[in-house]
Amino acid sequence: MANERIFINDVEFELTNNSTDFARTLQVNDLISLQSRQTSYTKNIHIPKTPNNLQALGFIGEFNSTGYALPSRKLEVTYIVGNDYMIYKGWGVIEETTDEYISINVYDGLIDLYKSIENVTLSELDVDALEHPKTLTNVINSITNIATSPYTYIVADYGGKARFTFVTGGTSGTSVNMDYLVPSVKVSYLVDKIFDYADATYSGSTFLTTEYEELYISYSNGYPVDAEPIIFYSNTSFQQGTNLGNSSYSAFVVKHNSAAPYSGSFSTDEVYLIPTTGVYQFVDDGVGTGKWDKGIYGQTAFGIRNAMVVEVIVNNGTAYDIKTKPILTLNSNDTIKIIARTSGGYKLNNITFKLNLKYYLIGGNEVNFKNSLKEFQVKDFLNEIIYRYGLTIYKDKYTNHYTFKTFDEIINYDSNNLIDLSNSFVKKINEKYKYGSYAQNNIIKYKYNVDGSSYEDKTITINNVNLEETKIVLTSKMYAKEEFQSKELGYYSNQYLLWTKDLSDGVTTYRSLTNHFHFISLSRLDLNTFIGSELTGDKILINPFYLSKDVYLQPYVKFEGILNDFKLITAEMYFDISQINNFDFSKLYYFKQLGGYYIVNKIQDYQLGKTCKVELIKANY
């Protein structure tokens, strides 16, 4: 007993001989379970109810206890044997109290990471750098600065109008239509943000591969592209100068005196505040079109009609004539004034001005990645990466660092990965040839736009006729690309539907889809191409740009090999405390008694000075 010490929340507790008679189970992850992520645990640590121990735990279980909330909280537990840390800053949970002791179970390993991101969505991470207005400048910059930008616009068919025709100097051409492109964010950027949030670090060879660096996740929604008008002034009558005698005006500010607009607000009855950042167009199609309805009643410009000029003034600066159909990039809370004036120096006197103005948000919609990412739990996203590459996570015992390894790295016969553990072997208890609830065909299932589709699903095959035929073992939250490529861009490209096309009475409309996340791998194309907006008419020639490409990963080949000649041995083994404290589950272990190499899947109910059961999986690939 003299060499055993336990600390709870940095307070040392008193122990008895019975306190340390507990069992510890060590496991990084059950290699034969794709879905679950286990952690090591130690059960039934008995803390004696000494006066000092009770005081430190708020007299839990006693009359008038102040520690009633402790069972619902994390206790940080460290257990030391001699100079060895058997448990270092584990996650303690009070299970029960009796007349003699307080029973605590302790979990350590992956629990810290998964608890830190529990019920957290990707939108809660520090992803402010993803927010941007969808302007042509930002689209182009995300492509030309792809090495440093956390997001980019990958050219693909997203289900909308993929390109448009333009005429310049009598010559026609085509442009990629950015109105129906969406941004995608680097997966590596999001993974970095996850570990920043968890106050942890990570490493792994997978994260150094080109395939991983080129992997993106798409924005989940299509945008409403067809511009709906936003009312500015509506059927508003103004009478200016009626009570001003013979004074006259060449210009005046149009005042708002009708019902409030659909969006935005007025700081005064003359100054309108733009509701959201974007590209806006003011269109004058003439009286009676429903877009502009302006007329001057009474005396107008000394009887000369149609001598009126209406202008939009932004932030008390530049004035734009409505007749030019100005396209303006405006920021949220920019100010707008409408000025009516005469041309040619005419004066206004005793007039009433009537204006029905609508303006359109035609581009530059604010890309709200936080709104998109709020549908994705951080834990689920991290698991998507684990499933995609077939990864197992190993936590450093003394730091908050996590190492990710593939099956190929675990089942590796390099001398640095092999350890002889024959001296710890006592005897074989049993041998099993099936594990878990696998079938002959084990499906990793993706989401599809067409029910019943399966073309993108992955299958892990086990040649064992005694198993059921088919089972879904993993269900991804990601949508598969469409089964067939399209030529909407003028060449074959993958389809990732975020819009659907409706044709009615010869008119094509596009309906936005929501919550459709796709993994997209990008491919550089060195080719001159125009990218622009059909709505604004702006375009830029760019070279290179980035398309999507197909990537065929095979992370489960060795895993499949294990399942097809499966052997699980439960053995009795003996370990000293230093072996337990430094045990590396990522290695292959040789046992001369069994004549081969095995993966240690679990060390079960280890107790000091006693033998324990160990699960061994034959590494036969």
Residue 164 to residue 534: CA distance in whole angstroms: 6
Tell me yes or no: is domain 229-364 CATH 3.90.550. Answer: no
* Residue type, position 122, single letter: L
Instruction: Average the pLDDT over each of 28-42, 121-135, 416-430 and give the range with the smallest value.
Output: 28-42
Residue 109 to residue 122: CA distance in whole angstroms: 23
Q: Which pLDDT score is estimated for 384? A: 96
Which is nearest to 615 in space by CA: 585, 592, 576, 593?
585
**CA distances (Å), origin 110, targets 38, 191, 320, 387, 402:** 7, 16, 61, 16, 9
Residue 441 to residue 468: CA distance in whole angstroms: 8
Q: What is the pLDDT of residues 472-493, one digit of tens each?
A: 999 999 999 999 999 999 889 9
**Domain spans of the chain?**
4-108, 122-224+369-420+435-549, 229-364
Residue 284 to residue 328: CA distance in whole angstroms: 15
Q: Is the peptide bond before 544 cis (omega within 30 degrees of 0)?
A: yes
Neighbours of 281 (CB within 10 A): 16
The CA-to-CA distance between both ends of the chain, in Å, stands at 45
Top pLDDT among 48 and 256 is at 48
* Residue 72 zone, left/alpha/beta (φ > 0; ψ -120 to 50; rest): alpha
Residue 502 to residue 219: CA distance in whole angstroms: 22
For 539-555, what is the mean pLDDT? 93
Q: Which two tokens stand for residue 574?
A: 């003996």
The DSSP 8-state label assigned to residue 132 in this structure reads: E
- In which band, very low, low, confident or very high, does the pLDDT at 242 lie, cut at 50, 70 and 90? very low
Average pLDDT for the chain: 83
Q: What is the pLDDT of residues 377-433, one digit of tens each?
A: 999 999 999 999 999 999 999 999 999 999 999 988 888 889 999 999 999 999 998
- Where are the extended beta strands (E) located within 480-591? 499-504, 507-512, 519-525, 529-532, 539-542, 545-549, 568-574, 588-591
Q: What is the pLDDT of residues 490-542, one digit of tens each?
A: 889 999 999 998 887 778 888 889 999 999 999 999 999 999 988 878 899 99
3-state class (DSSP) for residue 28: coil
Q: What is the CA radius of gyration of the chain?
A: 34
Strand order in the sheet with 151-153: 151-153, 183-186, 215-218, 519-525, 545-549
Look at strands 40-48 and 308-314 and give their pairing: unpaired
Neighbours of 178 (CB within 10 A): 26
Instruction: Give me the residue label for tokens 């792994």.
Output: 204
Q: Which pLDDT score is estimated for 297? A: 35
For 220-249, what is the mean pLDDT? 53
- In which band, very low, low, confident or very high, does the pLDDT at 248 lie, cut at 50, 70 and 90? very low
Helices (H), 467-612: 557-564, 577-581
Q: Is the pLDDT of residue 79 over 50?
A: yes
CB 340 within 8 A of CB 353: yes
State percent of the chain over pLDDT 90.
Answer: 49
Q: Is the pLDDT of residue 575 over 90?
A: yes
Q: Which two tokens stand for residue 484?
A: 């067939």
Residue 589 to residue 614: CA distance in whole angstroms: 12
Which is nearest to 177 in space by CA: 130, 223, 229, 131?
223
Q: What is the pLDDT of residues 455-471, one digit of tens each?
A: 999 999 999 999 999 99
